[in-house]
Amino acid sequence: MAIAPSRRVVWKEAEGLPPVRASRLTGAWRRLARNKLALVGSLVALLYVLIGLIGPFFAPYDYAEQDLLAASQPPLSDGHLLGTDQLGRDMLSRLVVGIRISLLVGFGVTLISLVVGTLAGAVAAYYRGWVDTFISGVVELTWGFPLILIAVILAGAMGPGLPATVLAVGLINWAGFARIVRGEVLHLREAEYVQAARALGVGDRRILARHVMPNVLAPALVMASYYVALAIIVEAGLSFIGMGAQPPLPSLGVMIAEGRNYMLLNHWVTTIPGLAIVAVVLGLNLLGDGLRDILDPRLRSG
């Protein structure tokens, strides 16, 4: 009977705790804060979103404005915090617009594919039958197809430019979300606690909102942070080889490509946008690793 008192103590403590929902959320935040790398990653992502949203409004110059008399100024020179490129265009003004383009392709398109993919996956798993066969067939074809190849083929058809890149990212990435959500929903609808909720007479909508969606969103969010990073890399790479954004639009890839020939003399023209890409991609990957550890213990590696 030695166990009984301590049990009562635990019971008492449990009564004093805040409602389960709040504790689950604060628990997640606490784990995020403890995971240093994930914290850094989310701060970097947040910083980029801020820069992308409001940065261009505070840009000191127009991104395409040339000033040949002030060409190739190093960073920290008069009136140009990050210097100027070989045509005298202000690097800082170009960088914030470049980051906005990266975010548009990264976050914007990923958000749309997340919504479309989640819906498609949930519908396939919910209705099953021929709907599922059809959606799964399309997903299997699309999922994992090399994004860059599709983007270049689309650039061939539509002419090189951002629309081709955006379309390619959207066309491919929704399938990744659909795949993971479908599997998760199929698994969850048979889960015992969902059956139990149904047996208790809980409505479909409430089951979906309270029991299915939170569990589906966790892996989808982890995937999203990797996909944003991937989209940013692909956009920059395509723009670098002339298949994506076209000059004078200062996509980070375009900036690097234009500075490439001056690398030995004014390295900052390539270094600054290069570091900007590396930082955001590293940040997002760390965030993804951290989110995976926090939200989805089954995917935890090592």
Please give the Cα distance from 44 to 180 (Å, whole number): 26
DSSP label at residue 159: -
Smaller CB distance to another protein: residue 96 or 277?
277
Output the smallest distance, CB 11 to another protein, in A. Answer: 34
DSSP states of 25-65 as a string?
HHHHHHHHHHSHHHHHHHHHHHHHHHHHHHHHHH-SS-TT-
Smaller CB distance to another protein: residue 6 or 301?
301
Output the smallest distance, CB 229 to another protein, in A. Answer: 7
DSSP alpha helix (H) spans, the chain: 3-16, 20-34, 36-58, 91-103, 109-127, 129-142, 147-158, 162-189, 192-199, 204-207, 213-240, 252-259, 268-295
Output the smallest distance, CB 210 to another protein, in A. Answer: 32
Give the interface with another protein as residue ranges (CB under 8 A).
Answer: 141, 144-149, 152-160, 229, 233, 236-238, 240-243, 253, 256, 260, 263-264, 267, 270, 274, 277-278, 281-282, 285-286, 301-302
Output the smallest distance, CB 79 to another protein, in A. Answer: 28
Smaller CB distance to another protein: residue 156 or 203?
156
Residue 203, sorted as left (phi over 0), alpha (psi -120 to 50) or beta, turns out to be beta
* Cβ–Cβ under 8 Å, residues 52 and 33: no
Smaller CB distance to another protein: residue 213 or 255?
255
Output the smallest distance, CB 170 to another protein, in A. Answer: 16
Output the smallest distance, CB 269 to another protein, in A. Answer: 11
Smaller CB distance to another protein: residue 54 or 153?
153
* Cβ–Cβ under 8 Å, residues 123 and 182: no
Smaller CB distance to another protein: residue 92 or 269?
269
Amino acid at position 159, single letter: G
Q: Side-chain half-sphere of 8: how many Cα atoms within 13 Å?
A: 4
First to last CA, the chain: 39
